[in-house]
Amino acid sequence: MARMSMIEAIRDAHDIAMGQDDKVVVFGEDVGYFGGVFRCTKGLQEKYGRNRCFDAPINESGIVGTAIGMAAYGLRPCVEIQFADYVYPAYDQIVSEAARIRYRSDGDFTCPMVVRMPTGGGIYGGQTHSQSPEALFAHVAGLKTVIPSNPYDAKGLLISSIEDDDPVIFLEPKRLYYCPFDGYHDRPVTPWSKNDLGEVPDGHYTVSLGKAAIRREGKDVTIVAYGTMVHVALAAAEDAGIDAEVIDLRTIVPVDLDTVAESVKKTGRCVVVHEATRTCGFGAELVTLIANHCFYHLEAPPTRVTGYDTPYPHAQEWDYFPGPKRVGDALKRVMEPA
């Protein structure tokens, strides 16, 4: 079993999908000749030709609109938006066309397409290269929204997404492309090659959309996270010395409420962590679901640790970024006696 970075796992997923199905096509800005800004599609054009992996103009609306037409006529496009921050010109196409086509056509048409994009901060990208817009897609009926936290999941989830008959938003935490990141920016990092979740099976396999993973078992409090925040949550639990159970959602739509509810009913406490801004972030939906389904089991109100309601700052990146200290403080607060 090979050890891969998340970039290599994503590239391998493309390769597997394109090799098994001639209807899979890959395109976007610089994804062909250069293999993408992060090299997630490197070598695919050389292997599969310019008709199946090609460059697109700098026009996000055009990229997604073209993919929708391809999908409606039987292809399976997997397109890349260079950064999630750039997806907004394509939002109307995603919401009004891709997400609605099955409903509007009474099932005569589907839209089997994937929109991939790097998301999140931690790379000194500032306000235009660090946003986490997942809640905007989770709000839209007809879309699935996927956020992997490691190479193993990234490959399996991407293959599942490409094989799905409906549109999938695939958000890749770019701070995790090369290594797990626990939020300690001033410490050395360990590459995926030295992490068990960097072990990626050869060939075809899938990770089911809508099935969470328990990354750390515990009995005192449940931490619900996704993407980069999974690793921050693990570090926070360790540093705080609290027996926390850490759940990696993997997908936020569909969300694995059964796994979350079972854990919260066991622990009686919950902290939800995400990097996106606080107001109307997906954490608000999670807290509501937990309150609705676990109310009589709660020993304390569910709480959130999130980004702040401000554009992502450049100079104060680590004040904005929900690091292990902020998560640890929330764990200690929720553990205080009522």
Based on DSSP, count helices (H) and strands (E) in the chain, helices before strands.
12, 14
Q: At what angle do helices 6-20 and 151-163 cross, to 10 degrees?
A: 30
d(CA 322, CA 327): 7
213-334, which class in CATH? alpha beta
Average pLDDT over residues 160-165: 98
Four-way CATH pick for 2-200: 3.30.460.10, 3.40.50.970, 3.40.50.1010, 3.30.70.1350: 3.40.50.970
Question: Where along the chain do the CATH 3.40.50.920 domains lie?
Answer: 213-334
Quick: pLDDT tens for 205-255: 999 999 999 999 999 999 999 999 999 999 999 999 999 999 999 999 999
Question: Where along the chain do the CATH 3.40.50.970 domains lie?
Answer: 2-200
The band of 273, judged by pLDDT with boundaries at 50, 70 and 90, is very high
The residue length of the chain stands at 338
pLDDT computed for residue 337 by the predictor: 83
Torsion sign across C-alpha atoms 8, 85, 317, 271: negative
Quick: pLDDT tens for 148-159: 999 999 999 999
Which residues are known catalytic residues? 129
Residue 338 has pLDDT above 80, yes or no: no
pLDDT computed for residue 325 by the predictor: 97
Q: 28-67: string of b/e by CB count within 10 Å (b at 16+)?
A: bbbbbeebbbbbbbbebbeebeeebbbebeeebeebbbbb
- Percent of the chain at pLDDT > 70 equals 100
d(CA 20, CA 38): 24
- pTM score: 0.97
Quick: pLDDT tens for 112-125: 999 999 999 999 99
